[in-house]
Structure 1
Amino acid sequence: MTRHQRIRRNTLRAIFMAIIILQDLVPFFGNIPLGPLSITTLHVTVILAAITLGPGEGAIIGGTWGILTWIRAFVAPTSPLAPLVFTNPLVAIFPRIMIGVVAGYLFRLVVHYCHSQRLAAILAAAAGAITNTGLVLGLIYLFYRTPAVAHAYGVNVSHLLPALLAIMATNGLAELLLAVIIVPLITLPVLEVRRRLGQ
């Protein structure tokens, strides 16, 4: 990698980090509160970074979001549930990192075998959204089958799993559709410009 390429990559990484920070801090920009939940749009930015910069950079951007999620759970929670579960770094940070890894590698894999950036972007967007929702809810169920968490969802402990599955089918679906629509619209023109510039 040349010095110019390193500078460009570092600049793009910084831009993505700045966007993540803005989305996380500006109300209703990155997190839309809905009862005990918070519908996020930040996963889209992580997926965009993973596709345009690669899975490693996507993991860094996702990790940035995860660290912010973890810190905010202590100082400025985005929902009543956040202080109960996102104070655990495994729940707050690991799923965000994995968005970038899964989306970035899947995009490369699909492009390699199918030679379609559009299909690759759509599948990577869907996989990134599912990774985030699935890991967060799965880890909540694994570590936090407690009355306090169940109460935050408005159910008792015995009904926590159905409640989490319902969230997967509602919040998760909304976040998936958002990613599938927005990611190709942004990434395909960016990738085309980079191809024409020989980058």
Structure 2
Amino acid sequence: MIKSNARALAKTKQLTTAGLLSALSIVLSMTPLGYIPLGIASATTMHIPAIIGGVLEGPYVGAAIGLIFGLTSFLRSTTPLFADPRVAIIPRIFIGVVAYVVYRWSKNTPLAAAAGTFTNTAGVLTMAVAFKYLTPQVAWGIALKNGIFEVIVAMLLTTTIVKAIKRMRNSG
């Protein structure tokens, strides 16, 4: 009986976290905070909830939130690049999964955030080149211009938020 109650509480916690971070992803997709314009492309913070979900609750939660990010990107697309679900959705599913694996292996939140961010950037740009939306040179330019900014922001925000949530969970 105790084991089943503990499992139910864990699933409730996962579901609640997934719901809150998915809602945050949707809100970010509708505000300038989700996509920060940097000239030819936009830097995103949309991947951060997926990273946090993966680190805190595991690969399934991280994948679900990444899927929400991909779907909002696809549905709000204003370019052929993100109107292609292979580019807009598929790479985003792996953000939280990779963040989870790196965090599980290293117990290092900034490293998990960097890995999740790299997964987003590399996945989207690789698919964009593979399907001839971008040339390799343009993709490398975007990766260098936006990727560094996105990694730094993700490391700072993810570390701060995960630490605060863990502190809150431990005090309650």
2:3 — aligned with what?
A: none
**2:96 corresponds to which residue?**
100
Alignment correspondent of 1:136: 124
Structure 1 match to 2:19: 14
Q: How far did 1:12 drift?
A: 1.7
| Paired AA for residue 98 in structure 1 | F
Secondary structure of the 2:76 match is helix
How many Å separate the matches in 2 of 1:181 and 1:187? 10
User: In structure 1, what residue type is equivalent to 2:128?
Assistant: I
Give distance in 1, aligned partners of 2:98 and 2:149. Answer: 19
Counterpart of 2:154, as a letter, is A
Matches of 1:195 and 1:54 in 2, distance apart?
Answer: 18
TM-score (norm 1): 0.78
DSSP 3-state at the match of 2:42: strand
Alignment of 1:103-118 (within 5 A): 103-111=99-107
| Corresponding position of 1:2 | 7
State how many pairs are aligned.
167
**Following the alignment from structure 1 to structure 2, what is the Cα–Cα distance between the partners of residues 175 and 12?**
23
Q: How far apart, CA to CA, are the structure 2 residues paired with 1:8 and 1:191?
A: 13
Aligned residue for 2:36, secondary structure, equals strand
In our comparison, the structure showing a higher alpha carbon Rg is: 1
The aligned runs of 1:6-85 (5 Å cut-off) are: 6-26=11-31, 28-73=32-77, 77=78, 83-85=79-81
CA distance in 2, matches of 1:67, 1:123: 26
- Structure 1 letter corresponding to 2:89: I
Describe the superposition over 1:148-168 as per-residue Cα deviations: whole angstroms up to 9, x where unpaired.
x45xxxxxxxxx322211211
1:19-52 CA-to-partner distances (Å, cap 9, x unmatched) read 00000012x1211233331211111121111111
Q: CA RMSD in A?
A: 1.7
Q: State the 1:72 CA deviation.
A: 1.3
Query: TM-score of the superposition, structure 2-length normalised?
Result: 0.89
Give the Cα separation in 1 of the matches to 2:39 and 2:86: 23
| 2:87 alignment partner in structure 1 | 91
Percent identity, aligned pairs only, is: 32
Match of 2:153 in 1: 178
Equivalent position to 2:111, from 100, 116, 123: 123
- Consecutive aligned runs of 4 or more in structure 1 exceeding 4 Å deviation: none
